[in-house]
């Protein structure tokens, strides 16, 4: 058991090492930037062949590893490289994800499998690999999974995405339950639309304007807002928060 360590009034993460899947773009990249500013060592994970170049852009000591987290050999390599470069890892952010939108009666089996495979299976397998590493090394740690408001409420044309993110939330709770005794905290964040590059492409215009009218805050989220909350969940200030799904939706799901 890891006892009470006090409240960190400086909100410091300095000296920690974070593995971030999907870390080369979107929320993952915004989180990487936030962590870099907080003195965190970064291991950016993703299929982007320029992963290492992107990581080095945030600081010469950071590393990026191109590959697919669904590969057991690749996941093992990620942990080994983190240990070699930084002496270990403390944080895992599962940010990699895809979407495939279609009506439930029309979505193909291939589209369904792809979304579940990346969003749910990929997040679990990376969490399992990381969790085993922490347990074997008697090392406390923190995992944050990117879920979505779509895992909490139903959205038209989102059947596979809603199912995958609902699964991520349930998975988060089970991992928190099983691994709490090892000092491993596992939480999820569930944003509304986030104005990443992809978010702008999908939601700028009349459809997005109509959607915003359904949100009490009357706007979408900025990537930096999500990154800051992820950082909080990984800090000592959140030492008693585990198994939680933090909804970041401007009030959309309260209706």
Examine residue 201 and state whether it is found in any structural domain, yes or no.
no
Domain count, the chain: 1
CATH for 136: 3.40.50.720
Tell me what pLDDT residue 85 has: 97
Q: Please give the model's pTM, rounded to 2 decimal places.
A: 0.94
Residues of the domain holding 60:
17-193+222-247
Query: What is the distance between the alpha carbons of residues 17 and 36, in angstroms, rounded to a whole number?
Result: 10
Examine residue 31 and state whether it is found in any structural domain, yes or no.
yes
Query: What is the distance between the alpha carbons of residues 31 and 34, in angstroms, rounded to a whole number?
Result: 5
Q: Report DSSP letters for 78-114, one per residue.
A: HHHHHHHHHS---EEEE-------B-TTT--HHHHHH
Examine residue 6 and state whether it is found in any structural domain, yes or no.
no
Tell me what pLDDT residue 7 has: 61
User: Which position has the token pair 């009666």?
Assistant: 105
Tell me what pLDDT residue 5 has: 61
Please answer whether residues 116 and 74 qualify as being in contact, where contact means their C-beta atoms are separated by less than 8 angstroms.
Answer: no
Burial 58-94 (b: 16+ CB within 10 A, else e): beeebbbbbbebeeeebbeebbebbeebbebbbbbbb
Q: For residue 96, give both structure tokens.
A: 């990699």
| Helix or strand (DSSP H, E) at 180 | none
Phi then psi for 254, rounded to 5 degrees?
Answer: -80, -10
Environment class of 202 (CB within 10 Å of its CB; exposed 0-12, middle 13-18, buried 19+): middle
Give CA 22 to chain center in angstroms: 8
Examine residue 255 and state whether it is found in any structural domain, yes or no.
no
Q: From residue 171, how far is each of 53, 93, 226, 230 by CA, in Å?
A: 32, 14, 20, 18
Examine residue 150 and state whether it is found in any structural domain, yes or no.
yes
Q: For residue 21, give both structure tokens.
A: 């899947």
161 annotated active-site: yes
Tell me what pLDDT residue 6 has: 62
Give CA 131 to chain center in angstroms: 15
Examine residue 202 and state whether it is found in any structural domain, yes or no.
no
**Which residue in the list 133, 161, 182, 252 is annotated as catalytic?**
161
Examine residue 207 and state whether it is found in any structural domain, yes or no.
no
Query: What is the distance between the alpha carbons of residues 161 and 120, in angstroms, rounded to a whole number?
Result: 10
Tell me what pLDDT residue 90 has: 97
Tell me what pLDDT residue 201 has: 85
**pLDDT digit string (tens) for the chain, length 255 residues:** 556 566 666 677 999 999 999 999 999 999 999 999 999 999 999 999 999 999 999 999 999 999 998 899 999 999 999 999 999 999 999 998 888 889 999 999 999 999 999 999 999 999 999 999 999 999 999 999 999 999 999 999 899 999 999 999 999 999 999 999 999 999 999 999 999 988 898 888 998 999 999 999 999 999 999 999 999 999 999 999 999 999 999 999 998
Examine residue 199 and state whether it is found in any structural domain, yes or no.
no
């Amino acid at each position: 058991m890891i006892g009470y360590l006090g409240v960190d009034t400086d909100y410091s993460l300095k000296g920690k090492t974070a593995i971030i899947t999907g870390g080369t773009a979107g929320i993952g990249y915004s989180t990487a930037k936030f962590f870099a500013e907080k003195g965190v060592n970064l291991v950016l994970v993703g299929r982007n062949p320029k992963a290492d170049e992107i990581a080095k852009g945030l600081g010469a000591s950071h590393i990026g590893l191109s590959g697919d987290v669904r590969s057991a050999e690749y996941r093992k390599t990620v942990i080994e490289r983190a240990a070699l470069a930084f002496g270990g890892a403390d944080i895992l952010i599962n940010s990699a994800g895809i979407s495939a939108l279609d009506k439930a009666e029309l979505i193909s089996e291939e589209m369904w499998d792809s979304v579940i495979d990346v969003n749910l299976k990929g997040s679990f397998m990376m969490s399992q690999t990381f969790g085993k590493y922490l347990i074997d090394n008697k090392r406390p740690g923190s995992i944050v999974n990117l879920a979505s408001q779509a895992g909490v409420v139903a959205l038209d044309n989102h059947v596979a995405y809603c199912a995958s993110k609902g699964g991520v939330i349930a998975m988060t709770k089970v991992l928190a339950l099983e691994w709490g005794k090892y000092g491993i905290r596992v939480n999820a964040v569930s944003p509304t639309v986030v104005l990443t590059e992809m978010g702008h492409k999908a939601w700028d215009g009349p459809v997005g304007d109509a959607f915003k009218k359904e949100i009490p805050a009357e706007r979408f989220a900025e990537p930096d807002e999500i990154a800051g909350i992820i950082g909080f969940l990984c800090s000592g200030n959140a030492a008693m928060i585990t198994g939680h799904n933090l909804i970041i939706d401007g009030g959309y799901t309260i209706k």
